[in-house]
Structures are given as structure tokens and as C-alpha cells.
Amino acid sequence: MRKFVLLTFLGVIFTGSLLSQGRVSMAAPILKAEPEQISFTTKFSDFVAGSDYRLGVGTTGDKIEGAEFELLKGDAPLSKELISFTQGFANAYFEVEEIAVQGYSFPSADLPAEGELVAMKVTIPRAEAERLERLFIIVAKQFGPDRWYIMDGGEINSSHW
């Protein structure tokens, strides 16, 4: 009986510590498929103050060629530098080891205020999307100097366009 009480107590503490970390949200992407290109817009919200984030879109291997990125905070364009990075620890979301991502970095000092949304619009030539077949949209949070974990994500693949 004592072990049961101890295990229950530890379970509640562990679950509570996970929930207290907060979680950024990513809305489902809105996809528009046209004969020459595909585009999608994804909104991000609920960033946890004091944390660093990266968001973007990637593939397993090749960089996305000819992609155009636009970043908005509310209705206003954001001028942030587009970066490339490798996102490891992707197996839990997408059953792949790592993703070659193009996107944006949000250090804690640059996070949107509570209740504000950040939208990322990506336009990709249809031929490039068909060549890649799978695109992964992610938002990752930093948990150590070189340790980023996906907090939310989604896949768009050839069945969607």
C-alpha cells in the first residue's frame, strides 16, 4: 500500500511538472494548391515567456528549393532572418530521425506578447513539392545548448495537393 501511495504521489508530481512547462500551439496549416505552386499558412501562439523557439518547414534530406517565406505578427510583416537548421528528435512526431528545416528563430526577448499570433506563409513550386513528397511544419523549444524538441508539428504530403 505504501508503494502505491508513493507511486501515485510521484506520478502526480511528474505530470504536474510537465504541464507547468507550458506548450506552444500550432494551428493546422491552411493549404492552397494551384497548378504552378502550393502555399500554406500556419499560425503559432501560446509561446511560453523565457523560452527560445524555432519554427519552420523542412524535409528529410534535401533543402526546399525555390520556397518563399513570409512571417506575420498579427497583420504586420515581421522582418526576421530566414535560417536553416537540422531538427533532430523528430521520430515521435513524424517517424523520421531528423529534418532539414528552413525557418525562423525566436529568442525569448523576441516572443510575441500573450494572445498574439505569429503566422508563417510558405509558397513552394508544385514541381518541388512533388519531388519532395513530404513537408514537415514544426515549432521547437530549446531545452539545452544544442537540444531542441518539437513541441508541435504537422505533415503535408502529396496526398494533400
CA 119, CA 124: separation in Å to the nearest integer? 16
Which structural domains are found in the chain, ordered by start? 24-160 (2.60.40)
Q: How many degrees, rounded to 5, is the angle at CA 21 between CA 17 and CA 104? A: 155
Tell me how far CA of residue 54 lies from CA of 83, 104, 157, in angstroms: 9, 6, 22
Q: pTM of this prediction? A: 0.84
pLDDT in tens, 104-138: 999 999 998 888 899 999 999 999 999 999 999 99
Q: CA 157 from chain center: how many Å?
A: 16
